Structure 1
Amino acid sequence: MMISAWTTEQLDRIDTADELRIAVRREDGSPRRPLPIWVVRAGGTVYVRTWRRRETGWFGGALRTRRARISVPGVETDVAVEDVGAGPAELRADVDASYRAKYGRYGRSTLDSMVSDAAAASTLRLVPEPRVQCPGGEPEVVPGSGGATPGRSGPTARPWAGWRPR
């Protein structure tokens, strides 16, 4: 059986984390340096944004490869990155509301930059990469997805352990 949705536990951990660490994959599949970014949950879906859409940095890399590895305490997994932009009005309203609810404590000037038209145009949906549920066992990452089994601890849970930026 293929599994590609977030579990309730993963969503709860992502929702309670102040920041998510994202390591965008390069074209050769190797991860870039993980960077902390704000993350929100709208329903059963995970979204990230940058304050303005651009073709450089982590955001530009995510647009090019559409793959990343993310982590928050208790969750580390590979994801597909989907560019949704501002999306339909209802989606934008839901994501904006999630940013306001989660990060409103940072003050209006900071929060306004993340719910602006420019930021909304940079909205990315993060979808866990499909994995196969083995009969009676732990899920395994689909071959070629470039990652470790989500939820597994130890060295196989961090394929870039020991990796340092050049």
Structure 2
Amino acid sequence: MTHWNDADLAEAGAAEELDLESERADGTLRAPVTMWVVRSGGQLYVRSVKGTAGPWYRGVRSRHQGRVTAGGVRRDVAFRPADPGEYPAVDAAYREKYGRYTAVVEHVLTDTARASTLRLEPR
């Protein structure tokens, strides 16, 4: 596993949103999807509100790689399923960062959304 450098981790983790482009089978990138991103420890995570049935999530699962842009950081990444043991810390990161959006943040804290938790690993 490749790790984020401190500057990129801090900048991307602090960004309000992240643009995610998943890679198609032919290596081209899909149109970007804007979503929330959270940092937990030395890792960055995203989730699909619609869980594993979400369109962008299905695209990510086809190649497990793509590109993210957040807070001035643009990196090619691998999308790795988070271990369920990581979910509580990721939940806490979502609550802390986006808690002011009370009506919305609860949607990323459901069991359906948790099942789609992906760790973003630089490549």
**TM-score range with shorter-chain normalisation?**
over 0.9
Deviation at 1:4, TM superposition (A): 2.1
**Structure 1: how far apart are the matches of 2:52 and 2:16?**
23
Contact 2:52 2:115 in 1 (8 A): no
1:93 aligns with 2:88: yes
Q: 1:39 aligns with which of 19, 37, 50?
A: 37
Q: 2:51 aligns with which of 30, 50, 53?
A: 53
Contact 1:55 1:61 in 2 (8 A): no
Q: TM-score, normalised by structure 1?
A: 0.70
Deviation at 1:56, TM superposition (A): 5.2
> Runs (4+) of structure 1 moved beyond 3 Å?
none
Structure of higher CA gyration radius? 1
RMSD: 1.5
Number of aligned residue pairs? 123
Aligned ranges for residues 152-163 of structure 1 at < 5 Å?
A: none
Higher relative contact order (CA 8 A, sep 6+): 2
Aligned ranges for residues 132-147 of structure 1 at < 5 Å?
A: none
- Sequence identity percentage: 37
Q: Residue deviations 1:17-63, cap 9 Å, x none?
A: 10000011001110001111110010001110011223452110111
Contact 1:49 1:124 in 2 (8 A): yes
Instruction: Flag structure 2 segments of 5+ consecutive residues without an equivalent.
Output: none
Contact 2:11 2:72 in 1 (8 A): yes
Q: 2:16 aligns with which of 5, 8, 18?
A: 18
Contact 2:48 2:54 in 1 (8 A): no
